[in-house]
Amino acid sequence: MIHRFDFLVIGSGIAGLSYALKVASHGTVAIITKKQKAESNTNYAQGGVAAVMAETDSFELHIQDTLATGVGLCNTTAVETMVKEGPTRLKELIDIGVEFTQKNSKLDLGREGGHSVNRIVHARDLTGQEIERALLAKIASTSNIHTFENHIAIDLLTEHHIAGKMVLDRSNVHCWGAYALSELNDTVEIFLAKVVLLSTGGLGQVYLHTTNPVIATGDGVAMSYRAGAKIANMEFIQFHPTTLHDSGSPSFLISEAVRGFGGILRSQDGEEFMHRYDKRKSLAPRDIVAYAIDTELKKRGEDYVLLDLRHLAADQIKERFPNIHNTCLTKFKLDITKEPIPVVPAAHYSCGGVVTDIDGRTSITGLYAAGEVSMTGVHGANRLASNSLLEALVFSHRAAQSSVEFLKSYAGSIPEVNVWDDSGTFNSEEWILISHNSLEVQQIMWDYVGIVRSDLRLERAFRRSELIRNEVETFYKKTKVTTGLIELRNLVVCATLIIRSAMKRKESRGLHVNTDYHKRDDEKFLCDTVVD
């Protein structure tokens, strides 16, 4: 089946939905999403949106907090754009019905690690879910937007897929849509579009322990890389410092805002330890806190540290964090008002991704990207808490504006593309063997490419991941596609990109800590790590 639209959006998080709403008045829009439309990293975001909304705050303060946290690698222009345009984008959310928490008829602004003032706009501790709810309601009332649930994109359509053409010139690539597997019909469909937006979210499932939902398999990064797009800064994987110990997969997130509210990190014997790592103590940025916890666990031989709220008023904890309190109490039999929370770091966010300019354009003509899949340069070597939803809002808006102009200037028609060839046989016994590779990749990444790395660990990870990647690609080429195979193929590609990028950076900076290079090296590595 062939679908034809003006705009194709791959992914249904805050970036994709916001973009779709803004381009819908200029053409037909298709949204394809792997599972249900509400399943996204956005929906799991507890903390909030960082924005300058108070008189006591300023653009300059937010910019400096972001730059400081990014450890020298932020794109200053992108940061300034995000910070200065953020409040307007946030007000647009309020206008479509997002109900942020208020106090005394004003936005209740929280504080998180790395921020110098209170500026986190939130909806209790389920901010992402509330934003997703309002956006989906608006999407449902917009007739020009067509949503295809349970469709997983396989590959982007480029010159390589034009009928009769087999050579791909990676220096001059165009995108005209995507192949996608309909999971319900078990058929591969073709989505043709003059403009494509990638908003596929993150890749946390590359790691054994992650806060990301099971759909976060790095599909957008992997597809873009195969299509010839520039990818950068994949070595900077943010580990959220505080997820509930032994809470399953995905790990249950204990929001950054809990520390901003006054939570204190302690070792299991009750000792505070963050003062040994940063003067901001428990309110230090995530890279510092995650490293500190990892160091303490290895030094003490323990499985978790404690996040202590017992000195805070119980009614205030319940009011500010109803979801965290209720989930811990009902699902894990833990009363966070009376007991310290056992926490460990888990893979949370990719600061790298598909390289874009400040208007969302990638190095492939007709292909845009926004949200976690993109690398705008705002996060540098470490993301400031709650800047992720802000980035998605600001740059999806700019991508929408640029896309509309691109569509207006579009000349000619979309070329004829090859139909999907699913010849080959499916060997269930062989699939059982190959499916084990997913767990193997996650274990390799967790053991060798986690919070602390070394040249030896990275070299081991590279050799093992390359072997798996070759096995998976060989199997993929002779087998009918399935969701599991598509995701495994993408996971392995993302794993190798992370490892290759980490091997190139011979220093320690932000989220990339290498024990063979204890210091940052601005002379050689004050630059992005680009892979193409």
- CA–CA gap between residue 49 and residue 46 (Å, rounded): 10
Which residue type sits at 42?
T
**Which pLDDT belongs to residue 163?**
65
Quick one: 65 and 169 in the same domain?
yes
158 CB-side CA count, 13 A: 25
- Quick one: 28 and 156 in the same domain? yes
Phi/psi-derived region of residue 295, left when phi > 0, alpha when psi is between -120 and 50, beta in every other case: alpha
User: For 96-100, which contacts have Cβ atoms below 8 Å and span 24 or more sequence positions?
Assistant: 96/21, 96/134, 96/135, 96/137, 96/138, 97/134, 97/137, 97/138, 98/123, 98/130, 98/131, 98/134, 99/123, 99/130, 99/134, 100/127, 100/130
- Residue 414 in this model has a pLDDT that exceeds 60: yes
Nearest one of 207, 214, 253, 459 to 350, comparing CA atoms: 207
Count of C-beta atoms within a 10 Å radius of residue 72: 15
pLDDT at 373: 98
Instruction: State the DSSP string of 373-431.
Output: TEE-SSSTTSPPTTHHHHHHHHHHHHHHHHHHHHHHT--S-PPPBPPP---S---HHHH
3-state secondary structure 64-96: HHHHHHCCCCCCHHHHHHHHHHHHHHHHHHHHC
Whether 14 and 140 share a structural domain: yes
Q: If you average pLDDT over residues 5-31, what whole number do you get?
A: 96
In this structure, is residue 499 part of a structural domain?
Answer: no
% helix, strand, coil for the chain, step of 5:
40, 20, 40
Q: List pLDDT tens digits, range 440-488.
A: 999 999 999 999 999 999 999 999 999 999 999 988 888 888 899 999 9
Query: What b-and-e string marks burial along 442-472, b requiring 16 or more CB atoms within 10 Å of the CB?
Result: bebbbebbbbbbeeebbebbbebbeebbeeb
CA distance 521 to 508: 8
| Residue environment code for 409-431, b if the CB has 16+ CB neighbours within 10 A, otherwise e | eeeeebeebeebeeeeeeeeeee
pLDDT for 50 equals 96
Task: Tell me: pLDDT of 248 over 90.
Answer: no
Q: What's the one-letter identity of residue 130? A: E
In a domain, 82, yes or no: yes
pLDDT tops 80 at residue 321: yes
> Domain check: are 200 and 83 in the same one?
yes
| 192 shares its domain with 255 | no
If asked whether residues 392 and 263 sit together in one domain, one would say no
Q: Quick check: is 164 in a domain? A: yes
Q: How many C-beta atoms surround the C-beta of residue 69 within 10 A?
A: 25
| Residue whose pair of structure tokens reads 């996608």 in the numeric block | 180
Gap between the Cα atoms of 295 and 241, Å rounded: 12
In a domain, 457, yes or no: no
pLDDT in tens, 193-212: 999 999 999 999 999 999 99
Say if residue 58 is in the same domain as residue 79.
yes
* Spatial distance between the Cα atoms of 107 and 112, rounded to a whole number of angstroms: 16
Peptide bond into 213 cis (omega under 30): no
* pLDDT surpasses 90 at 127: no
Write the pLDDT tens digit of every residue in 151-168. Answer: 999 999 999 888 655 555
| Residue reference for tokens 């290079």 | 517
The whole-number pLDDT of residue 36 equals 66
Write the CATH number for 287.
3.90.700.10
DSSP state of 310: T
pTM of this structure: 0.92
Give the mean model confidence (pLDDT) for residues 119-145.
Answer: 90
Listed ranges 31-40, 132-141, 421-430; the one with the highest mean pLDDT? 132-141
- For residue 430, what pLDDT is reported? 67
pLDDT at 268 over 60: yes
Query: Among the three residues 290, 312, 345, which one is the final residue of a domain in this structure?
Result: 345
64-112 per-position pLDDT tens digit? 999 999 999 999 999 999 999 999 999 999 999 999 999 988 999 999 8
The candidate with the shortest Cα–Cα distance to 285, out of 65, 458, 103, 79, is: 65
Q: Return the pLDDT at 164.
A: 58
Integer Cα distance of 382 and 508 in angstroms? 12
Q: CA-to-CA distance for 182 and 177, rounded, in angstroms?
A: 15
Dist CA 185 CA 208 (whole Å): 31
Helix, strand or coil, per DSSP, at residue 23: helix
Residue 180 pLDDT exceeds 90: yes
Looking at the structure, tell me whether residues 62 and 172 fall in a common domain. yes
What's residue 275's pLDDT? 96
Residue whose C-alpha is closest to residue 256's, from 387, 129, 106, 381 = 387
Mark which of 393, 408, 423 sits at the end of a domain: 408
Whether residue 483 lies inside any domain: the answer is no
Residues assigned a catalytic role: 286
pLDDT at 125: 75
3-state secondary structure of 354: strand
Rounded mean pLDDT, 278-303: 91
Residues 328-377 pLDDT 10s: 999 999 999 999 999 999 999 999 999 999 999 999 999 999 999 999 99
Instruction: Identify the domain containing residue 163 by its residue range.
Output: 2-204+356-408
Number of domains in the chain: 2
**Phi and psi of 365, rounded to 5°?**
-65, 130
Say if CB 109 and CB 121 are below 8 A apart.
yes
Q: Give me the count of residues in the chain.
A: 532
pLDDT in tens, 497-507: 999 999 999 99
Q: Which of 369, 386, 408 marks a domain boundary?
A: 408
Q: Looking at residue 370, which CATH number applies to its domain?
A: 3.50.50.60
Average pLDDT (383-410) is: 96
**In the numeric block, which tokens belong to residue 332?**
């894990």
Is residue 145 predicted with pLDDT exceeding 60? yes
**Cα 120-217-82 angle, rounded to 5 deg:** 30
